[in-house]
Structure 1
Amino acid sequence: MDKDEPWHRFSAPALFTQALLQYTSVPLTPTAIKYWWRGQATAYILRLNTNSLAKIRQLRRDSSLHHGFTIGKNSNGLENVAVPFPLPAHSFSMHVRHGDKSSEMRLIPFREYVEEAEWFAKQNPNSFHKSAFLSSEDPSVFEEAKNITSVTFDYGLTSPNENWVWYMSKIKRMNSGPIQQLNAFGSRHETTISWLLQLFISLECDGYVGTLNSNWNRLIDELRCVWVDKCMHPYLEVGDVVDWSNYHW
């Protein structure tokens, strides 16, 4: 990304910068301040009205709209799992950005998300479990999840639980860009609400796996620090550095 581009000259407003620095124990860099400010501004701009929030809550509480499964320990077949509200503690959020994003970055295979999360869970078995809320525009990701029970690199590490538990919503999906999806799915209002529902469910999680070159993953990363008190929770980056560097702009 060219550092001479106009957005690299942007900075957080002085008033907010001064307020932030009153509560920090170290002198923050300008880019760190800008990263913080983007989250604050995003959370403010994205405030939803009462009707939208009520609709999202209604959809979240409708158990028929959500589905979970795991691999049975004895049967080796799929076992349905209820999707509680909120999601169980120690769960990960995994948003797998595919679709038209290949024009901007290497599309990260779903398995790489799972490897990153499982490695972290095995290092922290008291803090994280092998359970995740899965979101993506790519239907094949959800089919692949049916065949991923664990990732083999034990090295003597303790697995918190045997097989992955996957949670997801039953929404329309098409492996393309958002505009193409909006045009194909009919009601733009209902489609947008269903996407925001995915965002809210992601914020129920305790760990986050994604890439900051995805604007949706950036939304999750920003809003977890403002809308919910999860800024100190781990975010695991799976993207190539060359794709998400200068993410503070």
Structure 2
Amino acid sequence: MESPRDTKPPCFTVFAWRGRELQQHALNGWRPPVELQGPWCFMIITLLCMIILFDNVNKYAPYGFLAPVIYAGTDNATSEIHSDDNRVRILLDLWSKTLDQGARAAGSDIPAPHFQDCKKSSEDFTRLDSRQHDGRRPLWTLWKGALGLELGGGLSVEDDGEEMLSTKARLQGPYPPWIQGGDEDNLPLTRRAQRDIWLNQHPRNCSSAKFLLADWESQKTRSSIGVGAELVAMTGLLAVALREGRVLVTKDYHGANHSGCTGSSHSRWSCYFAAEASNECIDRALKLSMLKSAWREGILTSSKNYPPFIVWKEVPVPTTWGRPWESIQRTVELDGSLLSGYKAQDRRWWRTQALRYLMRSPSENLCNLLNRARHDAFGVKAAEIALDLVPREWPKYAQPERTPIEKLVWSSLGPWIPRPLVSMHVRQGDKGSEMRVFAFPEYMKLAEHLKRAFPHVRGIWLSTEMENVVEESRSYTDWNFYFTNITRQSGSTSMAAYMAQLGKRRNFDNAFVNLLMAAESDFFIGALGSTWSCIIDGLRMTSGKTMSGFLTVNPINELL
């Protein structure tokens, strides 16, 4: 008598016993056992396999044919039929869809740690950058980030009035929320200066205000001028506006005159950063510019009312705050020595404050560009880390909802990047006519110097206009280099020709993404003779990173 083990059950019984085995192996080249190789059984099995296959393809169609994990077996055990690499690709694809759709993609229950919620961030900052309905200042509290917005309405915050630009103004807060770190981690009186500039640019009543309607430098000259030099020039006009008690309003910004800047931000500075003044004041200044009487009565002045040198070497630095530049600490190293000071420390301090104000917050557009750049550079690493923290059952497993501390407290720390990260700006090309340029190995010597003090430093955010620099970086295998994926200069191509070849949109998008990524890094290596390097250092010195220092290959440009 045959034992039960040797008995060949009918075809339908085998299906009942092995239905889950079929699902497990349907996509893995399964071959039926001997007892199921009869013609009718084989046809039924084939049909069942096709149903299972198409069911999974349809279920995961949005992800292409890289289907996620397929689970089988009993309720107490699962098995996966793809590798960890596939899980990373699936998660990267979901995150990419989130970028494209502007919201979390369906099925992406693992939040991207390197993304920022740009829409919410923009809405939150608008609240912090606008006066209240009754004309009072925004609810700047001693809390930062989302927690301040959540609790601010219920706090009794002492308002020190509208005493602006006065040495008698009280030094207590609250101060604008866009300055990171303690006072000793920023240039002297940074918080006070930012508060006063904001008050000047956001008066209670724009109808009684006077204005300086400023041209961008590129609108005043036919010769090519770099993005950085144009920003430096605008800081001089902001100084004039504060001295004369005027609200600075800029004319159309040529860098925003492209298809990426839409709606009211088209051709405006606000395409990339928070507007230079309140919307009410900007609207009023532009309307007044059409009236001859406004110019005649001095309600409006323009860049043409002031001599050209006022934006460069003879900037009228406001003296409202005393002489805080005399207290600037020496944190820049050149040739192994800390620089003892600059010929124009007052100008340097002021330009830094003005640049911080003008770039106090990225726009929603620039925030989205930064998300894309971080995803391209750090996405794989972020996915690997994120998947290590979730059960192996993902994507079947659902992430729990974020807790209040995640939403309101930790969110203020900003998007994840692989820290510690070094920013390295390598300036070569036609800059040799203005300063001594250095080969890439000279910058890497400074990086090795940094590594001796901080052995765990391995990542470098590399910004450069030269293709040869990117190629040379590949030989430094002990370092991880990150950079934007963009065409760079080759040979002796001039910067003007390169910018024209790149196109306006890509040129300005890339410039501002690199600028903010560099400012967000933990350490900085660059060329102090480069205007762009000075702007990066200025943003760092007003975002809590003064004591991280600056390693430079050359001295400062005297025009700065």
Normalising by structure 2, report the TM-score: 0.33
Distance 1:16 1:203 in 2: 25
Alignment of 1:1-249 (within 5 A): 7-17=312-322, 20=324, 31-46=344-359, 50-61=363-374, 63=375, 65-66=376-377, 82=381, 86-122=416-452, 124-125=453-454, 129-149=457-477, 163-175=478-490, 176-186=493-503, 188-226=504-542, 228-239=543-554, 241=555, 244=556, 246=558, 249=560
Q: Name which structure has the greater RCO, CA cutoff 8 Å, separation 6+.
A: 1
Higher strand content, 1 or 2: 1
Query: How far 1:119 sits from its partner (Å)?
Result: 1.5
- Cα distance in 2 between the residues matched to 1:146 and 1:49: 31
Shift of 1:16: 3.4
Provide the rounded CA distance (Å) in 1 between the counterparts of 2:458 and 2:497.
33
**What is the percentage of aligned positions where both structures have the same residue?**
28
Distance 1:24 1:183 in 2: 39
Q: Distance in 2 between matches of 1:178 and 1:24?
A: 33
Q: Deviations over 1:29-64 (max 9, x none)?
A: 983332211101122234566343333233234x2x
Letter in 2 for 1:66: A
Is residue 11–residue 30 contact of structure 1 (8 Å, CA) maintained in 2? no
Which one has a larger percent helix, Structure 1 or Structure 2? Answer: 2
CA contact (8 A) 1:132 1:165 kept: yes
The answer as to whether partners of 2:459 and 2:481 remain within 8 angstroms in 1 is: yes
State the Cα distance separating 1:229 from its structure 2 match: 1.8
Q: d(CA) in 2 for partners of 1:24 and 1:96? A: 26
Unaligned stretches of 5+ residues in structure 1: 69-80, 150-162
- Partner SS state of residue 520, structure 2: coil
Distance 1:189 1:145 in 2: 27
What SS class does the counterpart of residue 14 from structure 1 fall into?
coil
CA–CA distance in 2 between the matches of 1:43 and 1:56? 20
1:77 alignment partner in structure 2: none
Residue matched to 2:150: none
Kindly provide the amino acid, as one letter, of the partner of residue 113 in structure 1.
Answer: Y
Q: Residues 325 and 345 of structure 2 are in contact (CA less than 8 Å); yes or no, is this contact kept in structure 1? A: no
Aligned to 1:196, the other structure's residue is in SS state helix
Letter in 2 for 1:12: V
Q: By how many angstroms is 1:140 displaced?
A: 0.8
- DSSP-derived class of the 2:344 partner: helix
- Give me the whole-angstrom Cα distance separating, in 2, the residues matched to 1:142 and 1:164: 13
Aligned-partner SS, 1:43: helix
1:183-240: per-residue Cα shift (whole Å, max 9, x none)? Answer: 1123x123201221111111221110011111111110111122x221221100112x
Q: Structure 1 residues 184, 11: CA separation in 2 closer, same or farther (over 3 Å shift)?
A: same
* Match of residue 158 from structure 1: none
Aligned length in residues: 207
Residues 116-155 of structure 1: per-residue CA shift (max 9 Å, x gap) = 1211321x136x6132111111011111111123xxxxxx
**Any unmatched runs of 5+ in structure 2?**
1-308, 330-340, 384-414
* Aligned match of 1:152: none
Deviation of the 1:11 alpha carbon: 4.6
SS in 1 for 2:368: helix
Answer with 1 or 2: which has the greater Rg. 2
